[in-house]
Structure 1
């Protein structure tokens, strides 16, 4: 298996320029985690005080849920803290978790980026798709269908296919036992908020964002990063896309510098908070024109949905469209 071409920092930076880019701060990574949880708490408090703000809170909280996943991604690269034990503890217990399994999978993506062996290739290979197909996916995300298919459908399928004499209750208990954070978090939050009349807070201000806004922006982020990138692309500056993000995009869609994805693939151990500086240096050195970039997320979506509509659109998705749907669901897991 041929690994993807790599770049060396010395090809672009002097030792004096590279040292601060590669530096892992002992406080910045934990501070970003704290920021994510504080924003979630403030958005929830706003919604509980003013229920009219619930739709806004759902988008803010969903954005920070993605942000916590992005910070776990940094931990997978050992970039969240200079002490690896602290790095792994932060990535396992203060973010969505599952760090060890994710690290193995994700580093394979970097090793074989856009090559045949890339485990994430299914996310980019089918693009461009039609606008109808993209709208259909967005609707499924925002209505919770993607979340249900990803998180809950396997449970119901397992119950339906259980062997004779096998207890459905035991299957449900096993399902709960393997997801302790979700259910313990729900129980603790409901117990803490119910005495004040906010028994609904966990359902509306944690589960709802994770079931609607989070799948949508995870899909959009995946599209922005690798959609319409050629398979077996030989140029390491074009394995991933950097997308310009203003403050609105950063607040709701692209938290914690995730939009600097080309720089991340070029220098995967650089902490996320140093990627904007790397971007500025590369622009100053006139490297940016050779990199894969986009002026905004809307531009990427238009490109990714530029395939002409099929005449038989009413017959359902093509095998290629089903492939990207399945890959997107795997990426959300």
Structure 2
């Protein structure tokens, strides 16, 4: 049984409510055009970063380059997530190959490694077995929201993230293998990550050719600090309680670009049906809202702003009332 199948069988109130609704047939349709457009977006932001680097005034070029580079990383990050649900192709091998070279490698990630962790999040959303879950209560226990933001901004969380998505995923296998098998596995693992070195070399070559080499250190800094920080803040807004609640956020295009680009903000719909392509999630949202009338009874699962939701949760810890979760 796959992780996504297990998620469907878990007795979780909100997911049960969602999955009792019959899917419109068109939301499962795949579109090569939309896949290509989504895959192209982060490279457009890289082009904007290169253009920003051509300004002579550093006070203008540096902040503009930072914004463009961060937007590119947020789009790459979202594509890695989507690829963990086979966004590029239904063929696992083809999907992962395309995703690694077109998205994951540019931000130092690997789709297969990410998938091992992320599907556990779908299977155990909001429970103690959810490897990605964090709540405001947890953040307060660890020093508060400001301290969390500072840790990420200083890159202090980078080693933990590397261990989470690369080292821990292979730890059990390494412990059970004999020495020669472990060495072979290490070599294969290194070879499997060549997309990271290839993409980083391509990016560095591009920035050198455009005479804005100084953007590459910025890229590395953002990749270990603000990019994962925005993912963490997004998670707090979209998973506000200790249960399986998942919030859809109808924010502005600008806010979505940095928190949840490429329709990732329709997160309630995504958790209800992970197999729906991201470019169909807005269609699914309209169906739930206007035809199934799902949000008439579940209004707490819609937010108008990521920043607004975070402020609301931080100021009123008891504002969100979680549903009763029944453990399997």
| Same fold at TM > 0.5 | yes
Q: 1:90/1:27 Cα in 2 relative to 1: closer, same or farther (>3 Å)?
A: farther
How far the C-alpha of 1:148 sits from its partner, in A, is: 6.3
Of 115, 138, 160, the match for 2:149 = 138
How far the C-alpha of 1:202 sits from its partner, in A, is: 1.6
Give the match for residue 122 of structure 2.
110
Of 243, 247, 262, the match for 1:241 = 247
How far apart, CA to CA, are the structure 1 residues paired with 2:212 and 2:61? 15
Give the match for residue 223 of structure 1.
236
Of 32, 39, 45, the match for 2:38 = 32
Moved more, 186-195 or 246-255: 186-195
8 Å CA contact 1:21–1:277 kept in 2: the answer is yes
- How many equivalent residue pairs? 274
Give the match for residue 48 of structure 1.
54
Structure 1 residue 70 corresponds to structure 2 residue 78: yes
8 Å CA contact 1:63–1:253 kept in 2: the answer is no
Structure 1 residue 91 corresponds to structure 2 residue 80: no
The Cα offsets for residues 30-86 of structure 1, whole Å up to 9 and x where unpaired, read as 321112112222223223335413213212321221221211211211233355544
How far the C-alpha of 1:89 sits from its partner, in A, is: 2.4
User: Which TM-score applies when normalising by structure 1?
Assistant: 0.70
How far apart, CA to CA, are the structure 2 residues paired with 1:150 and 1:131? 17
- Unaligned 5+ residue runs, structure 1? 153-173, 234-238, 309-333
- Unaligned 5+ residue runs, structure 2? 1-5, 164-186, 318-328
8 Å CA contact 2:80–2:103 kept in 1: the answer is yes
Moved more, 254-263 or 4-13: 4-13
Give the match for residue 156 of structure 1.
none
Q: 1:255/1:300 Cα in 2 relative to 1: closer, same or farther (>3 Å)?
A: same
Give the match for residue 282 of structure 2.
276
Give the match for residue 207 of structure 1.
220
How far apart, CA to CA, are the structure 2 residues paired with 1:145 and 1:88? 29
Give the match for residue 311 of structure 2.
302
Give the match for residue 323 of structure 2.
none
How far the C-alpha of 1:7 sits from its partner, in A, is: 4.2
Within a 5 Å distance, the mapping from 1:112-127 to structure 2 comes to 112-121=124-133, 123-124=134-135, 126-127=137-138
8 Å CA contact 2:75–2:261 kept in 1: the answer is yes
User: Which TM-score applies when normalising by structure 2?
Assistant: 0.71
How far the C-alpha of 1:261 sits from its partner, in A, is: 0.8
How far apart, CA to CA, are the structure 2 residues paired with 1:20 and 1:94? 27
RMSD across aligned positions (CA): 3.3
How far the C-alpha of 1:13 sits from its partner, in A, is: 3.8
